[in-house]
C-alpha cells in the first residue's frame, strides 16, 4: 500500500503549474485565413492600438473631417483679405455707317478692348470682427475633438479584444493542465483498482472527468480562435492571424487619485471640449446674424486698359481729332449697402441662431454632468476591480496552499484521491478567477482613460 501510494503521490506531485500536453486529442479542423510563413509578429497593446487607428473607418473619417475643417479655416481667412483677379475682353460692335461709334449706346467705337486687374474687398461687421474666421476655427476644434472621441472609443474596443485573446490563451493552457490532471487521476484509479483498493466506479468517474476536460479544451480552442479573429479584423487589412500577443496582465498600472483624474477630465475630455466648442460656434452664428443687419462696404479697384485699341495710346473713336490719348489708367468703385427692410427675415435669423445657442448650452451642461457621472462610475469600478485582483490573488495562493496540504495528507493516508483532484480543480478555478479579475481591472483603467485621458 505504501509503495502504491508513493507512485500515486509521484504522479500527482509532478504536474507542472501550466503544463503543455503533446496530444490532448484530435485537433479540430478549424478554418483559418491564409497567413505567411514568416515568424509571427509580437504585438503589444500599443502596437494593436496603432494598427487599428490606421485602419478604423470611423477614426479615419473623423480625421478627414479635420482636414476639411482646416481648409474651411483657410478659406475663411482668405475671405477677409483683398482678392486680385485679371480679366481680358474684346467687344465687337456693328458700326452705324456715319460716325466712328457703334450702333449700341455704351459702345463709343466698333472695337472695344478690356484688360484689367481688379482688386476686390468686402468690408462688413463680420469681416472686421473675424466672425466667419472664428466660427471656422470652432468647427475645426470640434472636428479635432471628434477624432479623439473616435480614438478613445476604438481604444476600449481594442483593449477588450486584446485581453480577451490573452485570457483565452490562458484558458487554453489551463484546459491542457486540466486534461493532464484528469489523465493522472485516471491512471491512479486504474492502479488502485488493479490493486483491489478502489472500485470500478472510481475508474468510470475518472473517465467521465477526462472526457469533460477534453470537451473544455475544445471549447477553449474555439474561443481562442474566435478572439484571435476578432483582434485581427481590427489590426490587419488582410485578416492576417500570424501574430502573438504579449501577456502583460501582471504589470498593471497604479490608479491615480480621483481629484487628479477629475482635473484631467475637465481639461482633456474630448466630448466636453466638443460641446464647449459647439457653444462657441453657436455664439458666432448669433453674432453673424446680428451683423448682417449692419451696413456693409465693398471696394473694386481696377487698373488696366479699356479702349478702342489694345495700345497704351490711341485715338478715341468718338473724337479722333484729339489725337492719341493715354489708355492705361485706373477706376475705383465704392459700394455702400444699408439694409432697410426685408420683411423680418434678418430678425428671424437672429432668433433662430439664439435658439440654437440655448440648445448648445443645455447640451454642454448635460455633457458636463454625464462626464462627471461616468468618471465617478469608472473610478469606483476601478477601485472595486483592484480590490478583486487582490482577493483573487489571495484566493489563488490559498488554493495552492490547500493543494499542498491535501497532498501531504494523502501521503500520510489521511485523504483520498478525490480530495486531491478536487483541490486541483479548485486551484484551476482560482486561476481563472484571477485572470478575470486582472482583465476587469485593465478594462476599468481603459474606461477611465476614455474619460480623463492617458495617465
Question: Tens digit of pLDDT for each residue in 70-96?
Answer: 999 999 999 889 999 998 888 888 887
**pLDDT above 50 for 146:** yes
Distance CA 452, CA 455 (A): 8
**pLDDT above 70 for 411:** no
The stretch 329-340 carries a mean pLDDT of: 92
| 144 vs 413: which has the higher pLDDT | 144
Question: Which residue is it, cell 505567411?
Answer: 36
State the pLDDT confidence band at 450, using cuts at 50, 70 and 90. very high
Q: Shortest CA distance to 419 belongs to which of 411, 427, 428, 410?
A: 410
Distance CA 421, CA 183 (A): 11
The stretch 240-260 carries a mean pLDDT of: 87
Residue 155: per-residue pLDDT: 95
Distance CA 109, CA 61 (A): 59
**pLDDT above 60 for 319:** yes
- Domains of the chain, first to last: 2-18+40-80+130-294+339-452 (1.20.1600.10), 82-127+295-338 (2.20.200)
Cell numbers describing residue 204: 468510470
How many C-beta neighbours within 10 Å does residue 277 have? 21
What are 342-375's pLDDT values in tens digits? 899 999 999 999 999 999 999 999 999 999 999 9
State the pLDDT confidence band at 130, using cuts at 50, 70 and 90. very high
What are 7-41's pLDDT values in tens digits? 333 333 333 333 333 344 556 677 666 555 678 88
What pTM was estimated for this model as a whole? 0.79
What are 263-313's pLDDT values in tens digits? 999 988 999 999 999 999 999 999 999 999 999 999 999 999 988 888 899
Question: Which residue is it, cell 477601485?
Answer: 383
Average pLDDT, the chain: 86
Q: Which residues pair with 120 in a beta bridge?
A: 83, 300
**pLDDT above 60 for 452:** yes
Residue 388 contacts residue 270 (beta carbons within 8 Å) = no
The stretch 203-226 carries a mean pLDDT of: 87
The stretch 410-424 carries a mean pLDDT of: 72
Q: What angle do CA 422, 420, 180 make, to 5 degrees?
A: 80
Cell numbers describing residue 262: 477629475
The stretch 403-422 carries a mean pLDDT of: 74
Cell numbers describing residue 277: 466648442
| 87 vs 409: which has the higher pLDDT | 87
Distance CA 389, CA 442 (A): 10
The stretch 219-223 carries a mean pLDDT of: 91
The stretch 385-404 carries a mean pLDDT of: 91
Residue 420 contacts residue 399 (beta carbons within 8 Å) = no
Distance CA 84, CA 304 (A): 13
Residue 95: per-residue pLDDT: 80
Residue 363: per-residue pLDDT: 95
The stretch 236-244 carries a mean pLDDT of: 88
Distance CA 129, CA 296 (A): 13
Distance CA 84, CA 429 (A): 78
Cell numbers describing residue 424: 486541483
Cα dist from 130 to 78, 105, 126, 452, whole Å:
11, 43, 6, 33
Q: Which residues pair with 95 in a beta bridge?
A: 102
Amino acid at each position: 500500500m505504501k509503495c502504491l501510494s508513493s507512485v500515486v503521490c509521484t504522479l500527482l506531485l509532478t504536474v507542472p503549474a501550466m503544463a503543455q500536453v503533446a496530444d490532448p486529442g484530435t485537433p479540430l479542423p478549424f478554418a483559418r485565413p491564409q497567413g505567411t510563413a514568416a515568424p509571427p509578429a509580437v504585438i503589444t497593446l500599443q502596437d494593436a492600438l496603432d494598427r487599428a487607428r490606421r485602419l478604423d473607418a470611423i477614426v479615419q473619417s473623423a480625421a478627414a473631417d479635420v482636414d476639411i475643417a482646416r481648409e474651411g479655416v483657410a478659406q475663411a481667412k482668405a475671405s477677409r483679405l483683398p482678392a486680385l483677379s485679371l480679366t481680358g475682353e474684346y467687344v465687337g460692335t456693328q458700326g452705324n455707317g456715319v460716325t466712328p461709334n457703334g450702333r449700341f449706346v455704351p459702345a463709343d467705337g466698333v472695337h472695344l478692348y478690356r484688360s484689367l486687374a481688379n482688386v476686390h474687398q468686402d468690408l462688413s461687421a463680420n469681416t472686421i470682427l473675424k466672425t466667419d474666421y472664428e466660427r471656422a476655427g470652432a468647427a475645426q476644434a470640434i472636428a479635432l475633438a471628434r477624432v479623439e472621441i473616435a480614438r478613445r472609443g476604438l481604444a476600449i474596443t481594442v483593449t477588450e479584444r486584446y485581453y480577451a485573446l490573452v485570457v483565452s490563451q490562458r484558458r487554453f493552457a489551463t484546459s491542457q493542465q486540466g486534461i493532464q490532471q484528469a489523465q493522472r487521476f485516471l491512471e491512479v484509479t486504474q492502479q488502485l483498482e488493479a490493486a483491489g483498493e478502489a472500485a470500478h466506479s472510481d475508474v468510470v468517474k475518472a473517465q467521465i472527468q477526462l472526457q469533460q476536460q477534453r470537451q473544455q479544451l475544445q471549447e477553449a480552442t474555439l474561443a481562442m480562435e474566435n478572439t484571435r479573429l476578432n483582434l485581427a479584423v481590427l489590426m490587419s487589412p488582410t485578416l492576417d492571424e500570424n501574430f502573438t500577443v504579449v501577456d502583460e496582465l501582471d504589470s498593471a498600472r497604479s490608479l491615480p487619485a480621483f481629484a487628479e483624474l477629475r482635473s484631467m477630465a475637465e481639461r482633456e475630455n474630448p466630448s466636453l471640449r466638443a460641446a464647449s466648442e459647439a457653444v462657441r460656434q453657436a455664439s458666432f452664428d448669433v453674432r453673424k446674424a446680428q451683423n448682417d443687419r449692419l451696413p456693409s462696404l465693398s471696394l473694386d479697384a481696377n487698373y488696366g486698359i479699356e479702349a478702342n485699341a489694345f495700345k497704351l495710346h490711341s485715338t478715341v473713336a468718338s473724337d479722333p481729332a484729339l489725337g492719341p490719348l493715354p489708355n492705361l489708367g485706373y477706376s475705383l468703385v465704392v459700394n455702400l449697402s444699408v439694409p432697410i427692410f426685408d420683411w423680418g427675415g434678418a430678425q428671424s435669423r437672429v432668433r433662430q441662431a439664439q435658439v440654437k445657442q440655448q440648445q448648445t448650452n443645455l447640451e454642454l451642461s448635460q455633457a458636463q454632468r454625464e462626464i462627471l457621472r461616468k468618471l465617478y462610475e469608472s473610478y469606483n469600478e476601478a477601485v472595486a476591480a483592484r480590490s478583486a485582483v487582490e482577493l483573487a490573488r489571495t484566493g489563488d495562493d490559498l488554493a495552492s496552499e490547500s493543494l499542498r496540504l491535501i497532498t501531504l495528507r494523502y501521503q500520510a493516508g489521511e485523504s483520498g484521491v478525490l480530495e486531491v483532484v478536487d483541490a486541483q480543480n479548485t486551484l484551476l478555478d482560482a486561476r481563472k478567477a484571477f485572470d478575470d479579475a486582472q482583465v476587469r481591472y485593465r478594462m476599468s483603467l481603459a474606461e477611465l482613460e476614455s474619460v480623463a485621458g492617458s495617465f
